[in-house]
Amino acid sequence: MFKFLISLPRRKKQALMIVFDLLLIPLTFWVAVALRHSTITPEFYIPMLHWVLLFLPLIAIPIFIPLGLYRTVVRYADERLIATVAYGVTLLTLALLGGVFMAGVTGIPRSSFVIFWLLAVTLIGTSRFFARKLIQRAERRHLVEKRERIAIYGAGRAGVQLAMALSSSPEYQVLAFFDDNEDLHGTNVMGIRVYSPALASKVVTNFDLQGLILALPSSSRSRRREIIQDFEEFGLSMKTLPGMAELVAGKVRIEDLREVGIEDLLGRDPVPPVESLLVTCIENKNVLVTGAGGSIGSELCRQIMRINPKKLVLFEATEFALYKIEQELRQFESNVKVVPVLGDVKNKTLVEATLERHGIETVYHAAAYKHVPLVEENEVSGIANNVMGTLTMAQASLDVGVETFVLISTDKAVRPTNVMGASKRLAELVLQALSQSAEKSQTRFCMVRFGNVLGSSGSVVPLFKEQIRKGGPVTITHPEVTRYFMTIPEAAQLVLQAGSMGTGGDVFVLDMGEPVKIVDLAKKMIQLSGLILRDGNNADGDIAIHYVGLRPGEKLYEELLIGDNVSSTSHTRILRAEESFIPWSLLKEELSKLTYACQNQDHVAVREILKKCVIEYVPSIDETLDEGASTSKRLIN
């Protein structure tokens, strides 16, 4: 019967509540009068009592309905319901007093109305909360096998609010708290015991826990990584709350939960920005971002908007990407003028006209083809976009007098083994050469080199997540592959700050800590999903790892520096690399040849020029040019 009542449509449930109140309210008044007269037959003392009892429902329901008493979803009833009930019963009692007085009913003591008010508020309110309790208990019994048994790490405000939000969740059952605060150990929060992390093994076993949620929004990334390492042996699925800045008014909602990300496993806290460096090239200036709809470009635009430029020009070749970032930026509460420009960075006429028309003072050049295997298969298109596009933007910036030009580069430009990395290194050489040849120019050129960006297009993390979701296997190119990682906001902040520190031709790199072994990353992601790695030691595991071999142009290890000649900057975690360059008088001839080769789809010539200019470039597979013959032709020894 109870399951039947729960499954009824909402309007029928509301009708049942009205019928219940129609019976409860007259009974309550009869009890109030009986208590006052100390008899179970008060009708002998009040001849017209039965008319009063009939009158009560006729005025009660029209009062309760407008107050929204029957709109409340019982299973989510809270303290606000009591206030609504008290207000409604007060109006009902006053209306009853007026009706009794006008009808001339005698024999009803005034104290009976006070007793009625107290009983009605108590019984009507209690009936709702009693129904809520029954519903929740029924749901828990029904879902007990389906709900994930979890613990929450952090018994502070965020943890308590999360536990409250999950108390009626059909997905999670909170059985324990863990907290670093020794004063909380052994105490109960919301009826849930708080344990020391040292007891993790015992608690996980006793409660047969399946998951752990980190409710530590203000903790450092390094601390979260330590906790994850401490619990990963138990095979729990792990989730975390967003950072404190992302929580709205301290309120925690179930939808705020997210899976523990690779950023929580990096072991390196975000590089804090220096505010004075952020504003120098942006505040009250006209700024242009190329590749504005891409992973890095769009984050650059978001952060630039918060620094209050005079104008932000979005230069993007993909129509939908441009539309999407423009619509997002227009949601900012800002007076910044946002100008979308749909076009190709190789279009010199459009680039010059855009820079001049909008009086651009700072350029952030993020437009590039960066997917290694695709560029390897389409080397002419990749070089044309990454090299000639940079050259076009840089020369146009010189011609119109742009103050600062910042190129977004990559660690793959260091001793490249693929076309993408070599093209980005050649783009760096273009800026270094132009910077040295244009000493009288006001344009400052600089480059920012960083590792893999989490969440960007082509990032390995989304691929691994999708493979794990589908049941595997997780594919890795080689067991020894390592990479540096950083988050998109970090990368964007580095780019913005580097522009302020550049003096001309500078290459900036970030102290990114230790590189991450990709196979270890994959194993941790499998464990944090609550699954078991299937390998030679565990044939019954859930997810296997398959090694598919290095892709064309892929390296085992990425580097950030070509040489060891580095110096510090005004930012403690940003270094300036002093690297060799090709004089513009020599480089421009090779660029002319490269342009001609690209126009004619001459792959052999393109590869030869690329190897001649980028002396560190050693293709992993090279069928176009004999290595010994090419070395003597290179421009720098």
Helix (H, G, I), strand (E, B) or coil at 468: helix
Pairing state of beta strands 482-483 and 362-365? unpaired
**For position 363, what pLDDT does the model report?**
94
CATH topology of domain 276-451+485-512+559-613: Rossmann fold (3.40.50)
Residue-level pLDDT at 364: 94
pLDDT tens track for 338-381: 999 999 999 999 999 999 999 999 999 999 998 888 998 999 99
Domains 148-260 and 276-451+485-512+559-613 share a fold: yes
pLDDT attached to residue 636: 47
Query: Quick one: pLDDT at residue 623?
Result: 43
- The CATH architecture assigned to 148-260 reads 3-Layer(aba) Sandwich (3.40)
Beta strand extents in 344-412 (DSSP E only) = 362-365, 404-410
Buried b (16+ CB within 10 A) or exposed e, 138-166: ebeeeeeeebbbbbbbbbbebbbbbbebb
Question: Which bin fits 120, alpha (ψ -120 to 50), beta or left (φ > 0)?
Answer: alpha
pLDDT reported for residue 629: 37
Asked if 408 contacts 364 with a C-beta cutoff of 8 angstroms, the reply is yes
| pLDDT of amino acid 559 | 55
Cα–Cα distance between 58 and 112 in angstroms, integer? 20
**Model pLDDT, residue 288:** 96
- Tally Cβ neighbours within 10 Å of residue 595: 17
Q: CA–CA separation, 108 vs 192, rounded Å?
A: 50
Q: Please report the pLDDT score of residue 627 as a whole number.
A: 39
List of the chain residues with pLDDT < 70? 1-10, 42-48, 71-79, 134-146, 168-170, 221, 242-272, 438-441, 451-459, 484, 511-514, 528, 530, 551-568, 572, 620-637
pTM for this predicted structure: 0.61
Tokens coding 623: 């069928």
Per-residue pLDDT tens for 35-64?
877 777 766 556 667 777 777 788 888 887
CB 366 within 8 A of CB 408: yes
Annotated active-site positions, please?
412
Domain ranges for the chain: 2-142, 148-260, 276-451+485-512+559-613
Largest CA distance in the chain: 121
